[in-house]
Amino acid sequence: MWAVLGRLGVAQAVGPARLIAVRPAAAGAFSIPHVTMATHFSKDQERIRCVKGDLFSCPSTDALAHCISEDCRMGAGIAVLFKKKFGGVQELLDQKKKTGEVAVLQRDERYIYYLITKQKVSHKPTYESMQKSLEAMKAHCLNNGVTDISMPRIGCGLDGLQWEKVSAILEEVFENTDIKITVYSL
């Protein structure tokens, strides 16, 4: 939601304080008086949007992503909810994915990405395995027309990675794409 700040030619998004300059509408944009919104990313727009809320309340058209181990145990954290909601553990195991890859389920028109970031449930992921899994997910997204992904702060709960580093990896991996990522936290 946008609140226009009078004749200053500035709009402010509700959420983290961040001011943006409003410019005349350009090709590929539409305009509301005093506010211009681009229909495509420009280099200075954020690709990753962080919101508070339930991940599973995201639009049903968004792909979902989270991290698991090669053994597909999913016995703790948000992985338990993915297992209950989408099932498919044997389907995931049959894909025989290794650390640094991504297993994929399709439910209706939605893809669910299982980033394989460690060998066993008792292990911890590395930033390298996270990046490789994200690259594999990006390739699948590009090959299958996925433009919106919702996810938790991947690797930062029970796995113990730092969000600042993970979000920088996300930005780097997806920087030359039109894929938008929404990160949910409670």
What pLDDT, in 10s, does the model give residues 80-137? 999 999 999 999 999 999 999 999 999 999 999 999 999 999 999 999 999 999 999 9
What is the mean pLDDT of the segment spanning 67-76? 97
Q: What residue ranges do the domains of the chain occupy?
A: 2-40, 50-185
Which overall architecture, per CATH, does domain 50-185 show?
3-Layer(aba) Sandwich (3.40)
Percent of the chain whose predicted confidence (pLDDT) is above 70: 76
Residue 148 CA to residue 54 CA, distance in Å, equals: 16
Mean residue pLDDT of the chain comes to 82
The pTM for the full model equals: 0.76
pLDDT number for residue 47? 86
Rg (CA), the chain: 18
d(CA 50, CA 52): 7
Alpha carbons within 13 A on the beta-carbon side of 58? 24
Q: Which of 24-28, 41-45, 119-123, 167-171 has the lowest mean pLDDT?
A: 24-28
Known catalytic residues are 118, 159
